[in-house]
Amino acid sequence: MPTLAPSRKKLRVVAADFLNSLPLTVEMAEDELFNFEYVIPSEGARRMMEQEADIALLPVAAVAEIGGLEVVPGPCIGANGRVESVVIVSQVPLDKVQRLLIDNASRTSVVLAKIFMDSVGKGDIPFIRMPGQAIPANVKGTDAGLLIADIAFRESKQFKYRHDLADAWKRLTGEPFVFAVWAAQPGVLTPELVERINRRFWDGIARKHQIIEEWAAKHGMPKAEVADYLDERIQFNLNKSAWYGMQEFFRLGSNMRLLPDARVEFATPQEPQNGINTFGKFVPEVVPYSRSYGVDRILARADAGRRISIHDAERLYLEADLTDIGEVANNIRNRMNPGGRVSYIIARNINYTNVCNVDCGFCGFYRSDDPKRKGHNEGYVLTRQQLREKMDELADGDGVQALVQGGVNPNLPLEYYTDLLRWMKREWPQIQQNSFSADEVLGLCPNTTPQEISAVLHALRDAGLDTFAGAGAEILVDKVRKRVSYKKSRSAVWLEVMRQVGIMGMKASVTMLYGMGETTRDKFAHMAKIRQLQDEVSPFMVFITWPYQKGPEQKIKSFDQAGATYLRVQGISRIFFDNIQHIMCSWVTQGPDIGQTALYYGADDFGSVMFEENVVSASGTTYKMNANSMEHCIREAGFIPFRRKGDFSEWDLVEHQMLQNTRVL
Amino acid sequence: MSSKLLSRVRSLLERQERIGVDDCQELFQVKDLAAIATLARIPRERRHGRNAHYRAIVPLTVATVDDLAQAGGQLEPESGAVGIAVRPDGQAAATLGALMELQSAMRLLPLPATLFISAGIIARAAEATGSSIPEAVQALAGGGGVFINGDEAELSDATFRTAHTAAAIPFPQWLAVHRAAHAAGLKTGASMLYTVHDRPAEYAAHLQAIRQLQDETNGFVQFVPMGVQNRDVAEWYLVAPTAAQSLRVVAVARMFLDSIPHIAVAPSLITSEESFVALSYGANMVDSTIAVGDVCSDEGLGVAAAEGASLPVIAASTARQRGGILPRTIHSRIVESRHIPVPMDAAFGEISSLTILAQQ
Ligand code: SF4
C-alpha cells in the first residue's frame, strides 16, 4: 500500500480539467486514496506554492518557479511536433511583427513564446498583456498574438501566418515539448505512490475513447477533431527525449532570465539501463539546482544573473551565511543601480484619518467607527487646516513627496479623495503624491471588479495621484491574511489592484510585513506573487520589507525580530527580485544602525527623513533621522548619497523652485 | 590598492600567518564591508566554527559592601543568569582593602560572583594603599573571583588620551596592570575605543600594543571594541560611530588579534540588534555584562566638535537599547542569526545551554 502523509487521511491532488489532462486525471479523480480536485492551472500552482496541495498536474514553468518539487516519472502532457493549441498568429510575416499580444494565464506558453521569438530574432519586441479572448480581434497590422487552448483551435485558422509553438520547439531543439507533469511536494512520493499514479494513467489512457466521446458531446466539437488532438497531437509519455526537451526548456528559460534555474537529472548515473521502472518506462527525476547543490551554488548562479526559485530562496533563508547573502545582494544591487549611489527623499506621512473598519490584528494605529468598540471616540479625520500645517511644514523643509495614507474610513466617499488630491496639487505643486493603500482603494469599490478598481485609480490619478503607495501587502498568502486581518483584501484582490496600477502605467511601491507567525514558504510565496505580477505588468519600482513589531494594543504575536533576520530577508529580496529596480531599507523600524547595514544587503535607497509617522510608532518604534544624519550614514558606509524625487530621479533645486512658483493662489 | 590588500590579507589568513601593522591600518580604511567580513570569517570560523558565546551574568554596580548585600537580595532567580558581575564604584573601589572586602562579601551572594574591575581601578587603589601594581594584583588574585576587563584601554595614542580620556590611567600603566595580572595567572580582557571619525593609524598602533603583550603573556581572553557614544540621557542624541564603522573594527580586530580567543561585542554599545549581526563579521561573543552608559558621552561630543564635524543627530527609542537583554533573548537572537549559542560563566568556561534555559 502507498504510504500516506501521517497527518492526513488523503493526499490532496489538483489538476486542470483540460482535454489533454483528462487521460492523466480521470482515474486519479476516482481513486479513494486521493482528495482530488479540478482547478484552473494558476490555482493549482498557487496551492503547490503555498503547500496546500500534495500533488499537482503542474505546468513546467511552475515546477521551475516553485523549485524543490519531485516529478512523477511516467506520464506527462507534451507534444512531439505540431500541437495546435499553442500558436502565434499574425497577418504579416514574423519579420514584420512589432508586438506580441499575450494572455498571461499560461506562463509556460509565454516563456515558450519568448524563446521562439528570440530564436527568430524577435526577442526584443514588447509583449502586451490582454485577456485571451480579446487577442484574436486585436491581431492586426504588425501585432501578432499568442493563442492558447480552445481559442487557438477556434480562431487560429483565420490568420494568414500561424506558428505552432510545439512544432517550432521540435524544429529548434529536436525534442518534444513538455507542457505539464505530475509534481509532488518533497517527501510525498514513494515508489508505491509513483506506481499507483502510473497505473491510474494507463487506466485513463484505456478510457480515451470514452473521454473523446464525452468531450465532443459536451463542447460540441467533432469527435474526429478531439480524437486527432489526443491521439496525434499530445504525447503522454515522459520518455527520454521528452525529459531532454524539458531540460532544454529549463536551460533556455533560465539563460533568458525567464525562469529560475532548474534542471533534469537522472536517478542513476547510467541511463537508461538502470533508469527503468517497474513499467519498463524511463525513470529520470527533476532535481532543481538548489537540491543537488549547496547554497553556495545557488548564490553563485544568482550572482551570475540567474533567477532563483521559491525553494532556492527558502534555502538561502534557512542555510546561507548572512554575509554571503549580503555579498551577492550587493553585487546585484551594483548591477541594477550602478555608481555606488544611495538615494533618499524628503517626504512625510500624512495620516489623514485613523478611522478604519478593517480591524487588522497587527495594527495599533486605527480606531473603529463602531460606537460599541473601545477607543472609537479617538477616531479622527484631519481638517484642511491641520493638513495645511503638515503640508506647509513639508514644503518648508524642501519636501518633495507626501504619503497620504489612512484607515479604510467608510464615511469618506471618492470625492473626498479627489478633492483632497486636487487641493494639495494646487497648493503645493512641487510635492508629489505617493499615496493610498490597496485597501483604501478597495474601500471605494463595493464590487471589487477590475473595471471598478481601474475607474477609482483613474479618478485618483486624474486628481493628482503621482505614484501609488501600495501599502498593505503584508503577506500575500490567504491563510496568513485571514489569521492576522480577516477583513483585509485577499491576496488575489490586492494583486488585482496592483495589476490595474500596472496596466494604467502608474508606478507603485510594494512591501512585505513579516514576523506574524507565517512560515518561511509564506514569505517567499509572497515574493513570488509580486515577481510574477511584475513580469506581467511592471507596477513596482521599489520593494520594502520590515518585521511586524508588537505594541501594547496589537493582538498578534511577533516573531523573527532580529536585525540579522531583517538583513537576511532584505538581502534575499534583492536576489529574488531581478525585475524590481529598487530596494528601500527600513531604518524607520530597524533603527539607523541596521538601516545603514542594510545598504550592504541590496538596499539602494534609504527611504525618507521622518517628519511624522503614526503607524509603526503606534507599536513603540520611534526612530528619527534628518537629512544630515542620513547622508552621514550613507557616506560612512562608502556610498554616495543623493536626494531623489518620488519617481527615483534625482532631485533638482532649480526645478523644485520652478514648480513651487507654479502654485495657483 | 584595496583589492591587492584584500588578496594579500586573504592569503595570510588562509596560511594562518600574521597581518602586519601597515595592513591593519589599511584595512581600517576599506569601505567594502562585505569583503572585510569575508576575510574576518576565516579566523573566526577556524577558531569557533558557528559557535556564538555569551555570558549570562547579571551586572551589579556597587558603591559599598552594604549595597552588595542589598542588591544581591533583589536578584530574580528566574532571570536565567548563572553569575553576577560585581562592578565596584566610589568608595568600594577606592582602596585595595575595600576591593578585598567586596571579594569576601561576594561569597554570600546567591549566585557565583566575579569582581569585574578595570586596570584603572587597580592602579588607583594600589596607589591609595601604597602598594605596587604587582602587589595589588597578587592580593586580588589571592582573593579569587576577579576579572580585569578592558576598560580604560581607550586608545594607546598619548595625544588622544590627553585630549579625550584624561581621567584614564596612562596606557603604559594599563599594560603594566594586565602584564602583572597575566603573571599572577589571571585571564583579562582588552578593549579599544573607536570614534565617529576613523583613526586608522591610532587603531592599528593600539591593536599592535595589545597583540605584543599577548605574545608575551598569553593572558588576554577577550577583546571588546567600544564605540564612543552617549546613551545615558533621557532623550539621547547620539554622536557615535555608525554600524559600518563598528562592524569594520570588529572584523579587523578578529583578523589582527590572532592570539586572543574571543572577540566580543557589547549590545549596549553598538545596539543590541547590530551586535548579533556582528557575529557574521568576526565577533564570536555577545557580551552583555557591560552596563549601559559606561562610556561617557562628552568625549564623543568633544571629538566631533573639535574636528569641526556637522553632527549627525539621531534619536532612537530607548526601549530597545536599555534595560539589558535577557539570556533567553540572547539565546534566540543567536539562533535567529544562524549561529549556535554557547553560554559561558564569568571565567569563560562553557556551560550547557540547558542550564540557562531551564532557569527561565
Ligand atoms: S493596517 Fe490599515 S487597514 Fe489594517 S486596521 Fe490598520 S489602518 Fe486599517
More confident: B267 or B187: B187
Q: Distance (Å) from the C-alpha of residue B135 to the closest C-alpha of chain A?
A: 44
User: Using a 6 Å cutoff on CB, does residue A248 contact ligand 1?
Assistant: no
Residue B244 to residue A636, Cβ atoms within 8 A: yes
Give the strand pairing for B51-55 and A467-468: unpaired
For chain B, the residue count is 360
B319 in contact with A at a CB cutoff of 8 Å?
Answer: yes
Kindly state the cell numbers that stand for A537.
505588468
**How confident is the model over A427-451, as pLDDT tens digits?**
999 999 999 999 999 999 999 999 9
Pick the residue with more confidence: B213 or B75? B213
In DSSP notation, A131-187 reads -GGGHHHH--TTEEEEEEHHHHHHHGGGSSEEEEHHHHHHHHHSS-EEEEEEEE-TT
**Grid cell of A125 as nine digits:** 519586441
CA of A645 to the centre of ligand 1 (A): 27
Does residue A377 carry a pLDDT above 90? no
- Look at A563 and B279 and tell me if their CB atoms are within 8 Å: no
Please answer yes or no on whether B41 and A326 come within 8 Å at the CB atom: no
Residue A417: all three cell numbers together: 479623495
Q: Please tell me the predicted confidence (pLDDT) of residue A239.
A: 86
> Does the structure show a pLDDT above 70 at A616?
no
Residues A378 and A400: their CA atoms lie apart, in Å, by 30
Among B274, B326, B332, B340, pick the best mutation site for testing chain A contact (most A Cβ within 10 A).
Answer: B274
Residue A518 CB coordination number (10 Å): 24
| Chain A contact set for B234 (CB, 8 A) | none
Taking the Cβ of residue B279 and every Cβ of chain A, the question of whether any pair is shorter than 8 Å is answered with yes
Peptide bond before residue A539 is cis, with ω within 30 degrees of 0: no
What are the two backbone dihedrals, phi and then psi, of residue A307, each rounded to the nearest 5 degrees? -80, 145
In a domain, B85, yes or no: no
Q: Is the CB of A445 under 6 A from ligand 1?
A: no
Across the interface, whether the CB atoms of A323 and B37 are under 8 A apart is answered: yes
**Measured in angstroms, how far is the CA atom of residue A93 from the centroid of ligand 1?**
53
Q: What is the pLDDT of residue B75?
A: 67
CA of A437 to the centre of ligand 1 (A): 10
Q: Is the CB of A112 under 6 A from ligand 1?
A: no
Confidence class for position A656, pLDDT limits 50, 70, 90: confident
Q: Is the CB of residue B270 less than 8 Å away from at least one CB of chain A? A: yes
User: B188 C-alpha vs ligand 1 centroid, how far in Å?
Assistant: 53
B102 found inside a domain: no
Q: How sure is the predictor about A424, in pLDDT bands with cuts at 50, 70 and 90?
A: very high
B83 found inside a domain: no
- Structural domain containing residue B310: 2-47+154-357
Chain A interface, Cβ < 8 Å to B = 319, 321-323, 326-327, 330, 560-567, 590-594, 596-597, 600, 620-626, 628-629, 632-633, 636-638
Domains in chain A, ordered, with CATH? 11-76+177-292 (3.40.190.10), 86-172 (3.40.190.10), 322-350+398-649 (3.20.20.70)
Write down the pLDDT at residue A250. 94
Q: Nearest residue on chain B to A316, judged by CA atoms?
A: B338
B28 touches chain A (CB under 8 A): no
Ligand 1, atom 4, residue with closest C-alpha: A360
Give all strands of the β-sheet with B51-55 in edge-to-edge order.
B57-62, B83-88, B113-117, B146-148, B188-194, B220-227, B262-265, B285-286, B51-55, B340-344
Of all residues in chain B, what percent carry a pLDDT higher than 90? 59
Residue B92 lies in a domain: no
- Give contacts of B244 with chain A, Cβ < 8 Å: 596-597, 600, 636-638
Report the separation in Å between the CA atom of A576 and the middle of ligand 1, taken as the mean of its atom positions: 28
Q: Is the CB of A194 under 6 A from ligand 1?
A: no
CA A577 – CA A332 distance, rounded (Å): 10
CA distances to B99, B147, B186 from B141, in Å: 11, 9, 7
Q: Does the beta carbon of B235 lie under 8 angstroms from any beta carbon of chain A?
A: no
Residues of chain B contacting A327 with CB distance shorter than 8 Å: 34, 37-38
Which of A624, A628, A636 is the closest to B315 by Cβ? A624
Nearest ligand 1 atom to the CA of A357 is 8
* pLDDT higher than 80, residue B235: no
Q: What is the pLDDT of residues B28-65, one digit of tens each?
A: 999 899 999 999 999 999 999 999 999 877 778 899 88
pLDDT at residue B358, rounded to an integer: 56
Instruction: Express each pLDDT in B253-269 by its tens digit.
Output: 999 999 999 999 987 76
> Which is higher by pLDDT, A160 or A103?
A160
Is the pLDDT score of B81 beyond 80? no
Strands B220-227 and A401-404 turn out to be unpaired
φ, ψ for residue B265, nearest 5 deg? -120, 150
C-alpha cell at A395: 514644503
Q: Domain for residue B139, yes or no?
A: no
Model confidence at A588, pLDDT cuts 50, 70, 90, reads confident
A-chain CB neighbours of B274 within 8 Å are 563, 593-594, 597
Min Cα separation A463/chain B (Å): 37
3 state DSSP class of A591? helix
Q: Measuring from atom 1 of ligand 1, which residue has the nearest CA?
A: A363
> Considering the domain boundaries, does residue B144 fall inside one?
no
Q: Does B289 touch chain A (CB under 8 A)?
A: no
Q: Which of A474, A496, A500 is nearest to A487 (CA)?
A: A474
B/e letters for A358-377, b = 16+ CB within 10 Å, e = fewer, are bbbebbbbbbbbeeeeeeee
In angstroms, what separates the C-alpha of A320 from chain B's closest C-alpha? 8
- Beta strands (DSSP E) in A205-247 are 235-237
Instruction: For residue B316, give the nearest of A319, A623, A628 by CB distance.
Output: A623
Q: What's the ipTM?
A: 0.83
The count of domains in chain B is 1
Are A562 and B337 an interchain contact pair (Cβ–Cβ within 8 Å)? yes
Residue B233: C-alpha distances to residues A198, B229, B255, B292 (Å) = 72, 11, 35, 11
Distance of CA B113 to the CA centre of its chain: 18
Q: Which of B17-31, B163-177, B262-276 has the lowest mean pLDDT?
A: B262-276
Answer whether B277 sits within 8 Å of A632, measured CB to CB.
no
Residue A115 pLDDT:
96
Q: How far is the CA of A529 from the centre of ligand 1 (A)?
A: 22
pLDDT of A278 over the 80 cut: no
pLDDT of residue B5: 97
Mean pLDDT of A382-399: 94
Task: Work out the average pLDDT over B72-99.
Answer: 82
Q: Higher pLDDT residue, B360 or B239?
A: B239
pLDDT at A164: 97
Cβ(B260)–Cβ(B220) below 8 Å: yes
